Amino acid sequence: MEPIAALIIWALSLVILVFVIGAGVRVGMRWSRIDERKEQEARNQPAYRDGQSVFNYKPNKKFK
């Protein structure tokens, strides 16, 4: 009986691991799209205005 219980616990742990990895991939892809959008907006802006750079993209900025 014990090997069956161990197998069930192992299978449930594997399923939980798959869901955690899937959630991490979704969050990572969302952050990637946000960063890509910011990069594109920064590329579309003129590089210099009145002698000062207007490139304001900061990839490590925290979002709220």
Q: What is the largest CA-CA distance in the chain?
A: 78
Model pTM score: 0.53
Which residues neighbour 53 within 8 Å (Cβ) at sequence distance 6 or greater? 47
1-59 pLDDT per residue, tens: 699 999 999 999 999 999 999 999 998 888 888 888 888 887 777 655 555 555 555 66
Residue 55 · residue 38 · CB < 8 Å: no
What letter would DSSP give residue 14?
H
